[in-house]
Structure 1
Amino acid sequence: MKFQGTCGEVEVTQKALKKIVYYSLTELSDKLSVSARNWLQKVLNIFSSEESNLVINDDSGVTIDLYVAVGYGINIPETFAVVKDKIIESFKKHFAIENVDVNMHVTELK
């Protein structure tokens, strides 16, 4: 993703954007964690918890598909609101990106 900074053009890699999402989630670690998208990824352990399970696209904004494991007894809609606000706040603070869409997919309970 590229945007115009005060001193020229700034490019932020997908890996950096994914790290922001991961670090936002670690602050809420008591409620949820990053999860594999499907059972095969989980069995083969072919995903990295720091930089997987989200899709970032669009030049004008960011769309995140977040796959998570939620703790038993957690109110999912309430948790989603907290997660969404935290991720949007992080993108505004670190990258000045305003157009952020977050979709959360609960793949398992822990």
Structure 2
Amino acid sequence: MKFQTEYGEIEITVNAIRKLVYLAVLETYGPISIGTDNWFARWFSSEEGKIKVEEDDYGHITVDIFVEVEYGTKVTEVARNIEENVQHKLRTYANIENVDVNVHIIGVK
């Protein structure tokens, strides 16, 4: 994702966005671990590598997060908090407004 400022061009990589999303999920109450829908990535990638970030040609970003939540928490509330926290982080730190956050609950521990 590229931004033009009065001082020049700024490029934010997908890995940097993935790291911001990972930190936002860690700061949210409820998730125990971050998983994936891909069995190969489940075993061989880092925690933040399990977050799926895609950017289309128009600068629209889609984030898919697969999490396991703590037993006894309200699943819908945890998912909503993750979504709001990720959108807030991306808006505040990366100036990204056009983002869809999809939270997938893959288990309860």
Structure 2 unmatched ranges of 5 or more: none
What is residue 48 of structure 1 aligned with on the other side?
Answer: 46
Partner of 2:65 in structure 1?
66
Of 49, 55, 74, which residue of structure 2 is paired with 1:57?
Answer: 55
Q: Displacement, 1:51?
A: 2.6
Instruction: Name the structure where strand makes up a greater proportion of residues.
Output: 2
Identity across matched positions, percent? 34
TM-score (norm 2): 0.86
The TM-score normalised by the length of structure 1 is 0.85
Cα displacement (A) at 1:50: 2.0
Deviations 1:14-43 (A, max 9, x none): 110000000111112x4103113245544x
What is the CA deviation profile of residues 26-82 of structure 1, one whole-angstrom value per residue up to 9, with x for unaligned ones?
112x4103113245544xx11210232313212422110111111112211111111
- Where do 4+ consecutive residues of structure 1 move more than 6 Å? none
How many Å separate the matches in 2 of 1:74 and 1:104?
15
Task: Extract unaligned runs of 5+ from structure 1.
Answer: none
Contact 2:68 2:105 in 1 (8 A): yes
Q: Secondary structure at the match of 1:56?
A: strand
Residue matched to 1:92: 91
